[in-house]
Amino acid sequence: MGLLEIPGPRDVAVEEYGERQQSNVTDDNLKAAFRQACNVTLEDGLDLKQVYKDQDPEFFIGKGIKKDIARRFVEDIPGLVQNVKKATHIYE
């Protein structure tokens, strides 16, 4: 689990990540569940690097997030980082 470098302000990265997760589903209930996971992250003062380092979906489940949403929210962070790096590399 290498070091993740996530560019930009930490809170903005969490919000953008939550939006990205929501864009990958069509069901409004699932969108709301991803928004809730994002809100829990911000309310507890966490950033994406911390969430990924902890690898603890149970934290989110304990806050009322559905199990599969919590797992996806934690596990998909490296994919976001890779996509951001690819996108920013294009503009370099």
Q: Using the 8-state DSSP alphabet, how is residue 91 labeled?
A: T
Task: Give the Cβ contact number of residue 90 at 10 Å.
Answer: 7
Three-state SS sequence of 2-44? CCCCCCCCHHHHHHHHHHHHHHCCCCHHHHHHHHHHHHHHHHC
Mean predicted confidence (pLDDT) in 61-69: 96
pLDDT at 90 exceeding the cut of 70: no
pLDDT band (50, 70, 90) for residue 81: low
What average pLDDT does the structure give for the chain? 87
| pTM, two decimal places | 0.83
Structure token digits, residue 64: 């009322």
CB 91 within 8 A of CB 10: no
